[in-house]
């Protein structure tokens, strides 16, 4: 395949693609029916011309036949008058008219066949045009419905990515995120508040216990009497030093503060 042939085919294919994309079914249907109507007018004119030609040939054939009869009568007249040469000439003219009439009759038969063929074509075209007119409105309605469906599908396909629907979905997600953040902050604040109240509720018990312990150790209103240094202790019990108690008390304070 040559380069120019390939280039020509490529150009034709691109042109056909452009034309196909630009075609409007409704307009093409209307134009097609209009073209068929124009063809119908031309065919009617052709049929009328063929019929007129048929009539003209028929008239010419009749005239030739009449002339043939006239020349035959003249030949008889000339022969009756003793004009043999004139009679011979009349018969020669009669023969010419007969040949002409025979040829015209053949043309007339051929023309009649053409007229009948044109009439059948005319009737067929009229039927096709009538059918096309009936289908045209239906096809136009189907084309419009199909185009509307395509536009609807295209619009639906774009709802999730562009336009107002996309903005609406973004705002919906943002509101959900704000609600989740608010709920999390509320849970954290509630937990912190509960811990604070628990600490407050537990503090008086620790303070009361600590005060009672201090009172016992320092000798408050209900002083706890300790045995004298010289007094003997029970078997197996050793004397407790105050410094050891203070150390244990400090350790207990630290334990309570850490908890």
- CB of 239 within 8 A of CB of 229? yes
Q: Which of 27-36, 52-61, 100-109, 209-218 has the lowest mean pLDDT?
A: 209-218
CA gap 77, 83 in Å, rounded: 8
Cα 80 vs. chain centroid, distance in angstroms?
A: 97
Residue 21 lies in a domain: yes
b/e sequence 115-144, b meaning 16+ C-beta within 10 Å: beebeeeeeebeeeeeeeeeeeeeebeeee
**How do residues 139-159 score in pLDDT, each as one tens digit?**
777 777 877 777 777 666 655
* Domains identified in the chain, total number: 1
**Residue 213 CA from chain centroid, whole number:** 88
Is 241 part of any domain? no
Q: Mind listing the pLDDT tens digit for each residue in 76-129?
A: 998 898 888 999 999 999 999 999 999 999 999 998 898 999 999 889 988 988
Is the CB of residue 226 less than 8 Å from the CB of residue 245? Answer: no
Asked whether residue 77 is assigned to any structural domain, the reply reads: yes
| Tens-place pLDDT, residues 87-99 | 999 999 999 999 9
Q: Could you tell me if residue 23 is inside a domain?
A: yes
Range of the domain at 49: 12-159
Instruction: Give 14 or 233, the one with higher predicted confidence.
Output: 14
224: pLDDT confidence band, cut at 50, 70 and 90?
Answer: very low
Instruction: Give the number of other CB atoms < 10 A from CB of residue 71.
Output: 20
Q: Which two tokens stand for residue 116?
A: 């009948």
In this structure, is residue 218 part of a structural domain? no
The interaxial angle of helices 25-80 and 84-159, nearest 10 deg, is 180
Residue 96 belongs to some domain of the structure = yes
Residue 109 lies inside a defined structural domain of this protein: yes
Predicted confidence (pLDDT) at residue 196 exceeds the cutoff of 60:
yes
Is residue 224 in a domain?
Answer: no
Q: What's the predicted TM-score (pTM) here?
A: 0.45
DSSP 227: P
In whole angstroms, give the CA distance from residue 194 to residue 238. Answer: 47
């Amino acid at each position: 395949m040559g380069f120019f042939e390939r280039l020509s085919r490529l150009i034709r294919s691109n042109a056909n693609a452009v034309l196909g994309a630009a075609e409007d079914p409704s307009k093409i249907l209307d134009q097609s029916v209009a073209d068929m109507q124009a063809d119908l007018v031309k065919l009617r004119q052709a049929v009328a011309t063929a019929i007129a030609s048929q009539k003209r040939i028929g008239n010419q054939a009749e005239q030739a036949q009449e002339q043939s009869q006239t020349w035959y009568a003249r030949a008889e007249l000339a022969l009756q008058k003793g004009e043999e040469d004139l009679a011979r000439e009349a018969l020669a003219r009669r023969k010419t008219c007969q040949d002409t009439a025979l040829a015209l009759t053949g043309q007339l038969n051929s023309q009649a066949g053409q007229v009948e063929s044109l009439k059948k074509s005319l009737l067929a075209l009229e039927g096709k045009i009538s059918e096309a007119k009936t289908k045209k409105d239906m096809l136009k309605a189907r084309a419009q419905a199909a185009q509307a469906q395509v536009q609807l599908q295209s619009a639906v396909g774009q709802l999730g990515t562009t336009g107002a629907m996309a903005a609406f979905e973004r705002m919906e997600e943002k509101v959900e995120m704000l609600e989740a953040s608010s709920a999390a902050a509320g849970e954290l604040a509630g937990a912190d508040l509960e811990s604070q109240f628990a600490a407050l509720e537990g503090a008086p018990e620790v303070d009361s216990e600590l005060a009672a312990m201090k009172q016992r150790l320092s000798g408050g209103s209900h002083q706890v009497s300790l045995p004298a240094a010289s007094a003997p202790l029970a078997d197996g019990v050793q004397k407790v030093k105050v410094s050891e108690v203070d150390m244990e008390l400090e350790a207990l304070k630290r334990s309570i503060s850490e908890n």
